[in-house]
Amino acid sequence: MNIQATCPTLSKLAPRRPLFIKGGYVMTMDSAGDLADSDVRIENGSIAAIGNNVPTHDAEVVDARGCIVMPGLVDTHWHMWTSLLRNMSGACGLPYGGLIVKLQPAFKPEDMYLSVTLAAAEALSSGITTVHDWCHNLPTIEFAEQDLRALSEIGIRARFSFGALFGLKGDQLMDLATLRRLAQHWSSFSSEGRLRLGMAWRGMLDLYFNEKGQVCSRMTPEAVWRTEYDMARELNLPISLHANLASADATHIGALAERGMLYSDFQIIHGLSASDTDIQAMAAAGSSLSVAPVAAMRTGLGLPRILDFERAGVKVGLSIDSTPFAGNADMFALMKLARMVENAVNHTEFAIAPRRLLELATIEGSRTLGLDDQIGSLAVGKRADVIIVDTRHVNMAPFTYPDHMLVEAAQPANVDTVIVDGRIVKSAGRLTVVDTTQLAAEAGRANLAIRSRDPSR
Ligand SMILES: [Zn+2]
């Protein structure tokens, strides 16, 4: 199993070179706070120095005057393989689940490569430097290989969570042999540690959509869920699970807690119907929550619940989820929406501060993925995942309060420069790692081809 080295739409990743980000408003997102008119020097993919009057050491200068310099944004759950189906959920009367079940069998391994490349290109362009690629379209190992190849070649940081095929019957085991094989050979896939492996788990309840598109659930046999869970623990993998989306699966977190199955690397997605007891159990176990505000509301599942979990001490991160219904991967809009929901629900303008949302989108998001020792804030020794947001654009000027500017006014188009692991992947507002015009054209052709192969046509 080797990742292919070449790709028609991607140039090879540029070698790292020393970088000197000059004169920006640096938001470290850690105890050092904000540093006006400051510099960041990057060497060997990590942050070597931050502050005023940092020596350049002959590094390549990136002018950040008039810009905010901050950690790259962190997504905590995204079904990247669905990006070729962007904006199709709900069209032709098919809800998201129905759309995925219908078109998933028409995907080929090369579609996985293209879809994940499209999603990752959008992420990088939007300032998201880390993604949690939650993959549930893996009928053969080639699908996993092509997904991982896309993540590797484009240069993004990711956790790849290996899941059961979407729609797999609840009494059938996911492909544990392939998961074990990937785990045993992970050094071939990890791209110098940029990529991590996890399990995208179905859990103890089998979720499915009925003919009306409503979420339903039924118990999975213990022989299935216990075998899958035990494999993840044996391989020392983090587990991620969609749970308590609706009333149909409102017992899921409680059932896991009852059996002592929650732990610090266990991520719950959504948690919309979680009880206070469930939330307390997650906090006690150190488990995290991935909140997808756009997904929760766009699909009619309900309102996201950030403060309920935060107040109990649960680690919380933000997530894109899936662009067939989310449309795009705009983390700025997502922060803004999350804030509006909490303010509206709590009947105050001050329910959650913009600074806290920025923390959720950076350092807290990295904490939920177990990456906070590497990324999520700008500090000497951390890996250099950095974005530069140009505040001189008409939708952001004048320069006032940077945390408010980012949550209330910023858009992906304001992201001028993106650096992942010390490599520039976006410069002067343009991606350097992919020809986006060609990528969009290929995505269009692939979308039509997938629809033409729809087995239910
Ligand atoms: Zn999801």
Task: Calculate how far, in angstroms, residue 351's C-alpha sits from the geometric centre of ligand 1.
Answer: 26
pLDDT at 10: 53
Q: Ligand 1 mean position to 290 CA, how many Å?
A: 9
Are residues 291 and 262 in contact, defined by beta-carbon separation less than 8 angstroms? no
- 141: helix, strand or coil: helix
Q: What is the pLDDT of residue 7?
A: 42
d(CA 297, ligand 1 centre) in Å: 13
Separation of CA 246 and ligand 1 centre (Å): 13
Q: What is residue 361's predicted lDDT score, i.e. its pLDDT? A: 98
Distance 79 CA to ligand 1 centre (A): 6
Residue keyed to tokens 């759950």: 77
CA of 241 to the centre of ligand 1 (A): 9
CA–centroid distance, residue 179 to ligand 1 (Å):
20
In sequence order, which residues have a C-beta less than 8 Å from that of residue 350 and are 6 or more positions away? 343
Q: What pLDDT sits at residue 329?
A: 98
Distance in Å, CA 39 to ligand 1 centroid: 38
The predicted structure's pLDDT at residue 211: 73
CA-nearest of 294, 299, 226, 303 to 271 is 303
CA of 219 to the centre of ligand 1 (A): 20
Q: How far is the CA of 296 from the centre of ligand 1 (A)?
A: 10
Give distance in angstroms: CA of 353 to centre of ligand 1: 26
Q: Residue 179: exposed, middle, or buried by beta-carbon count in 10 A (0-12, 13-18, 19+)?
A: buried
Is the pTM of the predicted complex or chain greater than 0.85? yes
Going from the Cα of 399 to the center of ligand 1, the distance in angstroms, rounded, reads 36
Ligand 1 mean position, distance from CA 249 (Å): 15
Convert 107-118 to b/e letters by CB count within 10 Å (16 or more is b).
bebebbbbbbbb
How far apart are the CA of 321 and the centre of ligand 1, in A? 5
- Report DSSP state, residue 409: I
pLDDT at position 14 is: 81
User: How far is the C-alpha of 304 from the C-alpha of 337, rounded, in Å?
Assistant: 10
Q: What angle is formed at CA 157 by the lines to CA 104 and CA 202, rounded to 5 degrees?
A: 40
Distance 12 CA to ligand 1 centre (A): 31
- Residue 431 near residue 425 (C-beta atoms within 8 A): yes
According to the model, what pLDDT value does residue 8 have?
Answer: 39
33 Cα: distance to centroid of ligand 1 (angstroms): 33
Between the CA of 35 and the centroid of ligand 1 the distance, in Å, is 36
Distance (angstroms) between ligand 1 centre and the Cα of 456 equals 24
Determine which helix (DSSP H) or strand (DSSP E) holds 233, and give its type and residue range: helix 222-234
CA of 197 to the centre of ligand 1 (A): 17
The tens-digit pLDDT sequence of the chain (457 residues) is 443 443 434 556 888 999 999 999 999 999 999 999 999 999 999 999 999 989 999 999 999 999 999 999 999 999 999 999 999 999 878 888 889 989 999 999 999 999 999 999 999 999 999 999 999 999 999 999 999 999 999 999 999 999 998 878 888 999 999 999 999 999 999 999 999 999 999 999 887 777 776 777 888 999 999 999 999 999 999 999 999 988 889 999 999 999 999 999 999 999 999 999 999 999 999 999 999 999 999 989 999 999 999 999 999 999 999 999 999 999 999 999 999 999 999 999 999 999 999 999 999 999 999 999 999 999 999 999 999 999 999 999 999 999 999 999 999 999 999 999 999 999 999 999 999 999 999 999 999 999 999 877 7
- Whole-number Å distance, alpha carbon 198 to ligand 1 midpoint, is 15
CA of 136 to the centre of ligand 1 (A): 10
Residue 300, φ and ψ in degrees, nearest 5: 75, 15
User: How much distance in Å is there from the Cα of 77 to the middle of ligand 1?
Assistant: 7
Residues with CB under 5 A from ligand 1 (ion): 321
Calculate how far, in angstroms, residue 322's C-alpha sits from the geometric centre of ligand 1: 7
Kindly give the distance from the C-alpha atom of residue 394 to the centroid of ligand 1, in angstroms, as a whole number: 34
242 Cα to the center of ligand 1, angstroms = 7
CA of 336 to the centre of ligand 1 (A): 20
Residues 6+ apart with CB under 8 A from 374: 366, 382, 383
CA terminus-to-terminus distance, the chain: 35
Distance 195 CA to ligand 1 centre (A): 20
**CA 78 to ligand 1 center in whole angstroms:** 6
Distance 311 CA to ligand 1 centre (A): 24
Q: Tell me the CA–centroid distance for residue 217 and ligand 1, in Å.
A: 16
